[in-house]
Amino acid sequence: MKSKFSLWLPALILATYTVNGQDHPSNNFKPSHEIIYHVVQRSFYDSNGDLNGDLNGLREKLGYLQELGATSILLLPLYQSPYYHNYFADNFEKIDSTFGTMQDYLNLVREVHRRGMKIYMDMETQYVTEDHEWYKDSYGNLSSPYSDFIAYDDSAHTKPSSIVYDLHEFTGYNGITKKLTTVNMNSKKVLDYNISLFSHWVDPNGDGNFNDGVDGFRLDHMMDNLDNKNRWSHLFQNFWSPLIQKVRSVNPKIIFIAEQANWSSFGIDYLKEAGVDRVFAFRIAFEIRNLNKKKLETVCDSTFRFTPTGKNQIVFIENHDMPRFASVVNHNPGKLRVGAVLNLLLGGIPSIYYGQELGMYGGGKSMEWGMTDGNEIPEREAFEWYKSDTGKGMAFWYRDTGPWWTNSNDKPNDGISLQEEKADPNSLWRFYRNLILFRESRETLRSGTYYGIKNNNDSVFTFLRILNDKADLIAVNFSSKSAKAELDMQSVSYQKKIKKLFGNGNVSSARKNTGVQLPPYGFVVYELKNFKHN
């Protein structure tokens, strides 16, 4: 099943990134030009044949990430856990052995930094399993040094408190069931432990040289009032802000990214009150996935307007907790292309979920297969390296374990694999790569401010990216039909002669009367010079 994508890439851009007809990775991405690659490392590339994606496999494939145009890697948790996704730890200080050793981790981080890239670690220290030392030693033992580390619902410490969704235990896809509980986030000892833990990953050998340390942390399920229980409230002030400040005293350049637990929020309180640097633009993601022009206009205007200076929104269309975009849009080639354009050109810091660039399928099954994390395996399946979906590195860690395997979305010879798409000049992978290279060539698209532009067509989404006296005008057609629109440019002025940069549409401009014509699911980018607000 081949998707027909027109590349629409100007010859000048192609010439910049091809040598003797061969594609070459761009190795000079600057940190300010960041594009995050969000990866489930267990599903990415297996280096030792045990079917588990691992740290050495990820290191082997850094060249691929740079070839695509990614500048940073966001991992799922690395620490020891009985669950495949490594949330709900039984030891925060040990790396899951299926990923490799501490030395493998250090080798990966150093190589990431040698290439001028960044690496972010996912952290969730709010919950632990029954096998964690804090849980085992403090259960029924009031004299335990960890008696203040675990939240109990009784004075005898025999009733550990539930976690999110009021769960006391959880079953993994492999049938293993473990008791779970919440860490006492009000404890000064817990705060001090977290400061030490995070600081360790920032500078593992404590020598003040951060070439072996992470560049930042994703804070999973971050809340001011944990799980709305009113038992751990004001955590922004009492826990998260002190933690962030202390870790920044180790490395002032460390970056904190919050996954705001309330996905319907803009996350502004996290940026202002908790002191994180970035949040995920969930509301933008939802409207891109819906391709709802009017709602997307509203959420983009609000999201970017309210984000404080110096802080950032991470713009994405997929993550490990959501059905894949290709499944949401039924692998419609035009919609996949529109999603890529919005993901990469809207603003903020773009994040691409592994396999998104291939159009990998994957829809969560909710509780269709029972109360198990196997329901989310479909959106966390093995990256498809080969046409046959067999070969070195395929990370089929879930092989023959349940319905998520027998109903796998990874199919051979379906046009969805890196091998197939690199060979196809009209593939989705090629479109992503060339769009990223185009974005890299435009400072306005990397750093410019988002500014919404109204028009008279409910299927056409138009906006500007503004940087000083320059602006790029982007128009996108959400419809399966050709579209025309008249743009409201009354609030801005610019040089009458405009320049087409990228895309398959056309814009005609007479300053106050600007029109755009777009083919089905088309888009276009134009350069506006001598730009200013009226």
pLDDT at residue 30, as a whole number: 46
Sheet holding 506-509, edge to edge: 483-487, 514-518, 506-509
Q: Tell me: the pLDDT tens digits for 426-485?
A: 999 999 999 999 999 999 999 999 999 999 999 999 999 999 999 999 999 999 999 999
* Mean pLDDT of all residues in 85-111: 97
Query: Residue 150 — φ and ψ, nearest 5°?
Result: -110, 140
Task: Collect all residues with Cβ–Cβ distance below 8 Å to 129 and sequence separation of at least 6.
Answer: 81, 82, 88, 89, 90, 135, 178, 179, 180
pLDDT at residue 511, as a whole number: 55
Confidence of residue 496 (pLDDT cuts 50, 70, 90): confident
Residue position matching structure tokens 């399946």:
381
| Percentage of the chain lying above the pLDDT 90 cut | 87
Residue among 424, 428, 262 nearest 338 (CA): 428
Confidence of residue 495 (pLDDT cuts 50, 70, 90): confident
β-pairing verdict for 255-260 and 278-280: parallel
pLDDT at residue 512, as a whole number: 62
Q: Tell me: the pLDDT tens digits for 354-399?
A: 999 999 999 977 778 888 999 999 999 999 999 999 999 999 999 9
* Mean pLDDT score across all residues of the chain: 92
pLDDT at residue 100, as a whole number: 98
CA 435 from centroid of its chain's CA atoms: 18
DSSP state of 135: H
Confidence of residue 509 (pLDDT cuts 50, 70, 90): confident
pLDDT at residue 20, as a whole number: 29
Q: Tell me: the pLDDT tens digits for 348-360?
A: 999 999 999 999 9
Q: How far apart (Å, rounded) are the C-alpha atoms in residues 103 and 108? A: 9
Q: Tell me: the pLDDT tens digits for 179-197?
A: 999 999 999 999 999 999 9
pLDDT at residue 510, as a whole number: 62
CA 266 from centroid of its chain's CA atoms: 16
pLDDT at residue 10, as a whole number: 36
Query: Residue 455 — φ and ψ, nearest 5°?
Result: -150, 175
Q: How far apart (Å, rounded) are the C-alpha atoms in residues 134 and 156? A: 15
pLDDT higher at 403 or 4: 403
Q: Tell me: the pLDDT tens digits for 47-78?
A: 999 999 999 999 999 999 999 999 999 999 99
pLDDT higher at 13 or 509: 509
Q: How far apart (Å, rounded) are the C-alpha atoms in residues 470 and 453? A: 16
Look up residue 67 and give its two tokens. Answer: 């070839």
Lowest mean pLDDT among 14-18, 87-91, 109-113, 264-268: 14-18
pLDDT at residue 124, as a whole number: 98
Confidence of residue 29 (pLDDT cuts 50, 70, 90): very low
Query: Measuring CA to CA, how many Å separate 367 from each of 327, 350, 364, 399?
Result: 18, 30, 9, 20
Q: Tell me: the pLDDT tens digits for 116-172?
A: 999 999 999 999 999 999 999 999 999 999 999 999 999 999 999 999 999 999 999
pLDDT surpassing 50 at residue 12: no
pLDDT surpassing 60 at residue 2: no
Write down the pTM of the prediction: 0.94
Outline where DSSP puts E strands in 28-90.
36-39, 72-75, 79-80
Amino acid at 524: V
